[in-house]
């Protein structure tokens, strides 16, 4: 029993290495980190790997141009903007200023290129179209030597489709020399191209038409034609003729004029004439597209081309061309995602299944819908059509974990995308809710750094809990359970493992091959209890995908509204805007690359009815405003998250999960002390400044419950220690959730290779076995293979002890070896001091230790991490045997720690590696040490507070007092409330609480502590030790509360592009030192942090997708004290799409004066109005009023350009001087 108590005592003292070490190595009192520990980013102009203009943390990555003091956004060389070539008419986004070089180039400070002239339109030039800017269109026209037409009323989809709708015909060129004996040459092209060739155009005539007397003859050859689905005959000149129809090859009438697709063979074939030997009237949406028959050994009746089947067969299901679906590696959702798995998007692309893996480590999930609503052909109703649509989108799982911090709110969990609440209720004193991801993110199995490893463990540690089941004897002498009875039920282990698994790659879970690895422990009174075999079997089956299961797109309305993307209540009131001010209808550029997945489906459906190109023409305008089956509509519906909106969400989420300082607090959420370590290491200034209660976070998700648990534990301890003959001691149930480690061995490595539909990756490979390695990355021989197994067990050796008050005294020979540790003078170690020790293994290994001899799997603790590493160390505070004795422990101070290690292939050290030491018994000559305070020393506290609850942590059981003057402990009147029991130790020590009165400005408090309070009761007060120097504890109240001074923009504005860029600015003052602001377009409930983390008082947020309309932006700012200020601003954005107009013109005294409707730059010509504004014409002034000298009788062609670059193609006005 005493040994168990020792173990409990020691385990209670364990802290992960960095936390206590850093606490003690810093100062005796170490508050919350006062200096932000965020990595400092510096701009590097050129990295060693060749990349340019990157922010780096590690200077060694930089080859040249390292800017020590600033990020790239603040430098003149690497600031990102729009690179414009005025002559070519091209605009490139996100280009560093220094890289925007060359003739006719200029750099504009707008990353998104929302600048005049950048809006593309449909450039119609000959038989091809291009969706380019107006300037670019002119360049193309010049280069091709054909006239152009530039239209702004078409989006990209329509523009591309229009190309194939252009009228074509025979372009006949007479033989040179005019020899009537010779026939004309001919090419089949558009009218505009024909003009360039100098021929005579005959619309809808084929070159083989007998009327045209050409030298082109019919043939039985076929070919595919660019931009068209079908197989076409070609004539002897190589021109396309009509659609291949074997029955009409010799029909002269078939070679005269163009016969349209709808009038050609099998026009309405359900399958698009796929695999037809005689008809080439393919329709890629219905099922066929022109393709080479020779390549596949297909034998059409004539020619070498046929309609290839564009549908795909997968798992017994037929998918139409462009349909996409999700494929998974196992069960998904509810934490089921197996380790090593990722989600996959499969696309049927012209008869081939294309695999598009979602981001690895389940950073993306594949979402799918199978139907969507489309307007009926007559437009009066909507109908639901079946069309599988899938897409990869960012997994919001990390945000769920974040809600478990004390600054989060678990009750918001179910409203958050990809989050769900797990409720644990095993008794009155063991119930809590945890917000978990539906699709837990994967962890790197071999983390790149110990910090990453600890963070992963911290997350898993949320599910590490201790449940105390108190008992007492009933009247019959039996033990009656007082509370938390369910903790003793093995089902509780299953539930807690389910919680554990849902946090990430944690706990007892399988990999993609169904191999289970046990990283969850359910211990009752220190004894490992196995989970039910039926439950384990269910876990093992999770690697089998569940038929018909797929992830739902989820409701991202709140995100879109908060970001101002889905239209706002303000915009709804704006009747002057035509249509919705949602980004959908106003932004043709959203379809610049392509519409949403649902739009794709709509095209496919419509194509079946109307034919491919017509379908695009018809569908394209409608795509923007489509409705679907989910709340997120339009191009966003169906599978969502595609070009445009979906990716915007992805980027918002990506930014939120990573860039937000709030994310840093995810480190402080675990029940393990590692959380505190990680927080200390990685908390941002704002995290510190926001005064997070570290100790509470370190222990529990819900502070109140934590205290209750601890009290219950104390009670049971006291009863067990001092309660006499009470055999109904409390039962301690421990749930331990660790980061998932792969099963030892390497038998399954090769199973990762060889599946082209599921290519292997590092994550997948390493999950298959601890001995698996992913080699030859990037080469054609990339593969998962077994690492070299030396067939031996790990050989252990002690880690060197440097700069510590103890040393390695002797090495132990025999068995697996070991060493003994003594003080520097060879004696026992001092109690109440941190003892850091460790061992090294000669190969990557898992190591554990215990104070009892046990099997490896049953050993109490891992050495630092449960991963396979070379260096294993841990740290704990050596308890004082005298103190223990004073509380009933029978222990003289001798301690042996037994360690064992196992390598990746399962080879274990055969015997125990021993670490022996002794700890001095009293008398205790050292006064208490204050380890930690919270709030931090020198912290700012709320402006509105009149008192502040503080906590002081000591290294031993003590009494603490405070005073506003520096005086001896015994004189101080005010006391802290401190624990009296040795077992009441928390992560940072013994926690003493008090409420300190606060006045404005700086408040100084002097704190001293005195140890061994129990000695008073036995008249040994003189043996107690008190601090001779006070710890000066300073808390400052700001002189004024944080407030928002102003927010911009606050006035209406005109813009020249859609979308446009605006910069939201908010100036704050007062309050604490660190200010951070959030914004939203929908209200204060869903807010998004400003994307600037410099914590100064001027806050900026760039919106580069802003649409016209009324806007209202809500801003909320907070300082480190937690005080908040709110404000909002309203303005209106009006899109100026028109060219300047001439309002008035008159002539007087040989001067022509005219007034423009807006400020404009004007030029004139006396020849014509078609001059190029940039390079031609003469100056006619800038502003609203313009004057030029005129000659009687001369015509003046005047052209004006506004500040947005809008200028007419012709003249603004033509005036003849009188």
Q: Looking only at residues 318 through 347 of this chain, which bind another protein when binding is defined by CB under 8 A?
A: 322, 324, 347
CB of 372 to another protein, least distance (A): 14
* CA 956 remoteness from chain centre: 44
CB of 916 to another protein, least distance (A): 37
Q: Give dist(CA 285, CA 263) in Å, integer.
A: 18
498 binds another protein (CB under 8 A): no
Site for another protein in 956-1015 (CB under 8 A): none
Residue 792 CB partners (closer than 8 Å, separation 6+): 907
The secondary structure of residue 1211, as a DSSP letter, is: -
For residues 1084 to 1123, the per-residue mask of contacts with another protein, x marking binding by CB under 8 A and - elsewhere, is --------------------xx------------------
261 binds another protein (CB under 8 A): no
456 binds another protein (CB under 8 A): yes
- DSSP 3-state helix, strand, coil percentages of the chain (rounded to 5)? 20, 35, 45
What is the number of other CB atoms lying within 10 angstroms of the CB of residue 705? Answer: 15
224 binds another protein (CB under 8 A): yes
CB of 295 to another protein, least distance (A): 11
Q: Give dist(CA 455, CA 1019) in Å, integer.
A: 48
Q: Which two tokens stand for residue 104?
A: 């006719």
Strands 149-151 and 185-190: unpaired
- Helix (H) / strand (E) element for 958: namely strand 958-963
Size of the site for another protein (CB under 8 A): 131
Omega within 30 of 0 (cis) for the link into 600 = no
Q: Give dist(CA 1200, CA 1143) in Å, integer.
A: 12
The answer to whether 709 and 671 are in contact (CB under 8 A) is no
**Which residue lies nearer to another protein by CB, 651 or 1134?**
651
The SS3 of residue 198 is: coil
368 binds another protein (CB under 8 A): no
* CA 1117 remoteness from chain centre: 24
Among 116, 526, 594, 703, binds another protein (CB under 8 A): 594
129 binds another protein (CB under 8 A): yes
Which range touches another protein (CB under 8 A), out of 223-231, 539-547, 955-963, 1204-1212?
223-231
Of the candidates 1032, 950, 1015, 951, the residue with the CA atom closest to the CA atom of residue 988: 951
Among 187, 276, 391, 1076, binds another protein (CB under 8 A): 391
360 binds another protein (CB under 8 A): yes
132 binds another protein (CB under 8 A): yes
408 binds another protein (CB under 8 A): no
Among 67, 112, 341, 1082, binds another protein (CB under 8 A): 112
CB of 552 to another protein, least distance (A): 19
The answer to whether 520 and 507 are in contact (CB under 8 A) is yes
CB of 782 to another protein, least distance (A): 8
Site for another protein in 663-702 (CB under 8 A): 666-667, 682
* CA 768 remoteness from chain centre: 26
Among 17, 29, 95, 469, binds another protein (CB under 8 A): 95
**Which residue lies nearer to another protein by CB, 50 or 826?**
50
Q: Give dist(CA 461, CA 470) in Å, integer.
A: 24
CB of 227 to another protein, least distance (A): 7
882 binds another protein (CB under 8 A): no
- Helix (H) / strand (E) element for 460: namely helix 450-460
CB of 179 to another protein, least distance (A): 5
Q: Give dist(CA 1144, CA 42) in Å, integer.
A: 56
Which range touches another protein (CB under 8 A), out of 92-100, 260-268, 492-500, 915-923?
92-100
609 binds another protein (CB under 8 A): no
198 binds another protein (CB under 8 A): no
* Distances in whole angstroms, Cα of residue 302 to Cα of each of 221, 765, 1015: 7, 50, 107
The secondary structure of residue 82, as a DSSP letter, is: E
For residues 553 to 592, the per-residue mask of contacts with another protein, x marking binding by CB under 8 A and - elsewhere, is ---------------------------------------x
CB of 644 to another protein, least distance (A): 8
Site for another protein in 422-441 (CB under 8 A): 441
Of the candidates 507, 742, 607, the residue with the CA atom closest to the CA atom of residue 288: 607
CB of 869 to another protein, least distance (A): 16
838 forms beta bridges with 873
Task: Name the E strands within 662-789.
Answer: 731-737, 772-775, 783-786
**Which residue lies nearer to another protein by CB, 393 or 465?**
393
**Which residue lies nearer to another protein by CB, 94 or 975?**
94
402 binds another protein (CB under 8 A): no
599 binds another protein (CB under 8 A): yes
φ, ψ (nearest 5 deg) of residue 85: -110, 110
Among 15, 17, 459, 768, binds another protein (CB under 8 A): 459
Residue 421 CB partners (closer than 8 Å, separation 6+): 410, 413, 414, 433, 434, 435, 436
227 binds another protein (CB under 8 A): yes
- Helix (H) / strand (E) element for 400: namely helix 397-402
Residue 1128 CB partners (closer than 8 Å, separation 6+): 1047, 1112, 1113, 1114, 1115
CB of 231 to another protein, least distance (A): 13
**Which residue lies nearer to another protein by CB, 100 or 901?**
100
Strands 834-850 and 894-903: antiparallel
Among 130, 712, 821, 1062, binds another protein (CB under 8 A): 130
Which range touches another protein (CB under 8 A), out of 451-459, 568-576, 789-797, 1077-1085?
451-459
Among 36, 357, 1122, 1181, binds another protein (CB under 8 A): 357
Which range touches another protein (CB under 8 A), out of 21-29, 253-261, 353-361, 987-995?
353-361
Site for another protein in 133-152 (CB under 8 A): 140, 143-144
Among 64, 76, 176, 253, binds another protein (CB under 8 A): 176
517 binds another protein (CB under 8 A): no
Residue with tokens 């103190």: 883
Residues belonging to the chain: 1218
Residue 165 CB partners (closer than 8 Å, separation 6+): 613, 614, 617
60 binds another protein (CB under 8 A): no
Residue 628 CB partners (closer than 8 Å, separation 6+): 369, 372, 373, 598, 634, 636, 637, 638
Among 19, 75, 135, 185, binds another protein (CB under 8 A): 185
**Which residue lies nearer to another protein by CB, 67 or 324?**
324
98 binds another protein (CB under 8 A): no
761 binds another protein (CB under 8 A): yes
165 binds another protein (CB under 8 A): no
68 binds another protein (CB under 8 A): no
Q: Give dist(CA 373, CA 365) in Å, integer.
A: 24
867 binds another protein (CB under 8 A): no
Q: In what order do the strands lie in the sheet with 324-327?
A: 324-327, 344-349, 352-357
The secondary structure of residue 829, as a DSSP letter, is: B
Residue with tokens 């008159």: 1146
Q: Give dist(CA 813, CA 714) in Å, integer.
A: 41
**Which residue lies nearer to another protein by CB, 81 or 879?**
81
811 binds another protein (CB under 8 A): no
Which range touches another protein (CB under 8 A), out of 4-12, 99-107, 541-549, 744-752?
99-107
CB of 228 to another protein, least distance (A): 9
């Amino acid at each position: 029993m005493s040994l168990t108590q020792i173990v409990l005592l020691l385990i209670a003292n364990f802290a992960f290495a960095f936390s206590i070490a850093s606490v003690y190595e810093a100062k005796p009192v170490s508050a919350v980190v006062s200096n932000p520990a965020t990595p400092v980013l510096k701009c590097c102009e050129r990295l060693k790997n060749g990349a340019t203009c990157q922010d780096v943390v590690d200077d060694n990555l930089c080859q040249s141009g390292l800017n020590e003091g600033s990020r790239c956004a603040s430098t003149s060389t690497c600031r990102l903007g729009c690179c414009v070539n005025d002559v070519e008419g091209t605009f490139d986004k996100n280009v560093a200023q220094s890289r925007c070089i060359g003739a006719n180039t200029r750099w504009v400070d707008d990353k998104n290129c929302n600048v005049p002239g950048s809006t593309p339109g449909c450039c119609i030039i000959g038989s091809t179209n291009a969706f380019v800017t107006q300037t670019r269109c002119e360049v193309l026209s010049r280069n091709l030597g054909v006239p152009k037409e530039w239209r702004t009323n078409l989006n990209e989809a329509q523009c591309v489709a229009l190309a194939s709708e252009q009228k074509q015909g025979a372009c006949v060129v007479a033989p040179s020399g005019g020899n009537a004996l010779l026939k004309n040459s001919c090419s089949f092209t558009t009218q505009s191209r024909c003009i360039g060739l100098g021929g005579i155009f005959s619309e809808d005539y084929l070159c083989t038409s007998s009327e045209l007397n050409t030298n082109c003859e019919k043939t039985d050859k076929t070919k595919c034609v660019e931009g068209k689905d079908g197989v076409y005959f070609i004539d002897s000149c190589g021109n396309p003729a009509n659609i291949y129809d074997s029955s009409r090859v010799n029909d002269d009438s078939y070679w005269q004029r163009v016969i349209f697709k709808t009038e050609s063979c099998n026009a309405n074939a359900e399958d698009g004439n796929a695999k037809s030997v005689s008809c080439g009237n393919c329709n890629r949406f219905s099922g066929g597209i022109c393709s080479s028959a020779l390549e596949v050994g297909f034998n059409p009746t004539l020619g070498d081309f046929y309609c290839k089947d564009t549908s795909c067969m997968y798992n017994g299901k037929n998918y139409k061309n462009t349909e996409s679906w999700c494929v998974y590696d196992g069960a998904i959702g509810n934490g089921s995602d197996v380790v090593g798995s990722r989600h996959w998007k499969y696309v049927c692309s012209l008869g081939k299944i294309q695999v598009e893996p979602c981001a690895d480590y389940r950073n993306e999930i594949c979402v799918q819908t199978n139907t969507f609503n489309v307007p009926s052909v007559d437009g009066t109703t909507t109908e639901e059509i079946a069309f599988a649509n899938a897409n990869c989108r960012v997994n919001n799982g990390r945000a769920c974990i974040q809600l478990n911090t004390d600054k989060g709110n678990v009750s918001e969990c179910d409203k958050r995308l990809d989050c769900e609440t797990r409720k644990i209720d095993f008794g009155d004193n063991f119930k809590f809710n945890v917000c978990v991801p539906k699709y837990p993110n994967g962890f790197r199995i071999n983390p790149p750094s110990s910090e990453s490893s600890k963070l992963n463990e911290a997350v898993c540690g949320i599910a590490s809990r201790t449940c105390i089941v108190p008992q007492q004897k009933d009247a019959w002498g039996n033990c009656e359970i007082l509370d938390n009875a369910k903790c003793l039920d093995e089902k509780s282990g299953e539930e807690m493992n389910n919680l554990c698994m849902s946090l990430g790659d944690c706990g007892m879970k399988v990999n993609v091959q169904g191999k289970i690895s046990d990283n969850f422990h359910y211990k009752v009174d220190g004894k490992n209890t196995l989970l039910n075999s039926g439950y384990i079997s269910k876990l093992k089956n999770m690697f089998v995908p569940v038929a018909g299961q797929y992830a739902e797109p989820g409701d991202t309305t709140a995100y879109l509204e908060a970001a101002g993307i889905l239209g706002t209540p303000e915009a709804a009131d704006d009747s002057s805007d035509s249509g919705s001010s949602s980004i959908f209808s106003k932004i043709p550029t959203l379809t610049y690359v392509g519409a949403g997945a649902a739009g794709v489906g709509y095209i496919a459906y419509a194509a079946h009815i109307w034919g491919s190109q017509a379908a695009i023409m018809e569908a394209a305008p409608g795509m923007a405003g489509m409705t679907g089956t989910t709340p997120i509509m339009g191009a966003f519906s169906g599978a969502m998250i595609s070009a445009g909106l979906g990716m915007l969400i992805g980027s918002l989420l990506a930014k939120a999960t990573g860039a937000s300082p709030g994310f840093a607090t995810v480190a402080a959420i675990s029940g393990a002390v590692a959380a505190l370590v990680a927080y200390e290491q990685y908390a941002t200034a704002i995290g510190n400044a926001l005064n997070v209660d570290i100790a509470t976070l370190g222990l529990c998700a819900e502070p109140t419950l934590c205290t209750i648990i601890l009290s219950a534990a104390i009670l049971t301890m006291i009863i067990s220690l001092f309660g006499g003959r009470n055999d109904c001691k409390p039962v301690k149930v421990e749930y331990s959730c660790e980061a998932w480690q792969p099963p030892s061995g390497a038998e399954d490595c090769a199973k990762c290779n060889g599946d082209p539909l599921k290519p292997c990756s590092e994550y997948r490979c390493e999950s298959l076995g601890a001995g698996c390695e992913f080699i030859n990355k990037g080469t054609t021989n990339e593969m998962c293979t077994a690492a070299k197994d030396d067939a031996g067990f790990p050989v252990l050796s002690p880690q060197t002890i440097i700069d510590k008050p103890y040393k390695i005294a002797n090495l132990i020979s025999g068995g697996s070896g070991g060493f003994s540790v003594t003080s520097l003078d060879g004696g026992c170690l001092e109690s109440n001091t941190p003892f850091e020790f460790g061992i090294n293994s000669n190969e990557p290994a898992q190591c554990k230790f215990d104070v009892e001899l046990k099997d490896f799997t049953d050993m109490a603790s891992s050495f630092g991490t449960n991963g396979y590493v070379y260096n294993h160390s841990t740290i704990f505070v050596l308890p004082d045997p005298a103190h223990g004795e004073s509380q009933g422990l029978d222990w003289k101070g001798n301690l042996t720690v037994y360690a064992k290690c196992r390598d990746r292939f399962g080879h274990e050290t055969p015997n125990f590696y021993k670490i022996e030491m002794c700890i001095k018994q009293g008398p205790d000559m050292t006064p208490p040490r204050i380890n930690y305070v919270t709030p931090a020393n020198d912290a700012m506290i709320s402006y509105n507070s009149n008192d502040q609850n503080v906590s002081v942590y000591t290294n031993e059981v003590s009494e603490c007092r405070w005073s506003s003057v520096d005086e001896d402990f015994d004189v101080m009147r005010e006391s802290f409330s401190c624990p009296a029991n040795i077992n009441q130790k928390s992560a940072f020590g013994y926690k003493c609480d008090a409420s300190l009165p606060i006045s404005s400005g700086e408040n100084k408090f002097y704190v001293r502590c005195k140890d061994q309070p129990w000695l008073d009761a036995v008249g040994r007060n003189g043996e107690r030790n008190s601090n001779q120097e006070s710890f000066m504890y300073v808390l400052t109240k700001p002189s004024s509360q944080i407030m928002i001074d102003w927010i911009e923009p606050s006035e209406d504005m005109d813009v020249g592009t859609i979308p446009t860029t605006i910069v939201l600015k908010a100036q704050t003052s007062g309050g604490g030192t660190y200010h951070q602001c959030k914004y939203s377009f929908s209200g204060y409930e869903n807010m998004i942090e400003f994307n600037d983390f410099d914590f100064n008082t001027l806050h900026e947020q760039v919106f580069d997708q802003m649409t016209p309309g009324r806007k209202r932006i809500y801003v909320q700012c907070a300082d480190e004290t937690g005080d908040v200020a709110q404000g909002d601003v309203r303005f209106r954005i009006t899109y100026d799409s028109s060219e300047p107009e001439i309002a008035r013109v008159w002539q007087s005294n040989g001067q022509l004066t005219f007034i423009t409707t807006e400020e404009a730059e004007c030029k004139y010509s006396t020849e014509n109005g078609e001059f190029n504004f940039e390079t031609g014409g003469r100056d006619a002034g800038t502003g609203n009023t313009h004057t030029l000298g005129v000659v009687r009788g001369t015509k003046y062609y005047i052209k004006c350009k506004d500040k947005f670059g809008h200028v007419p193609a012709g003249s603004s006005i033509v005036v003849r001087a009188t």
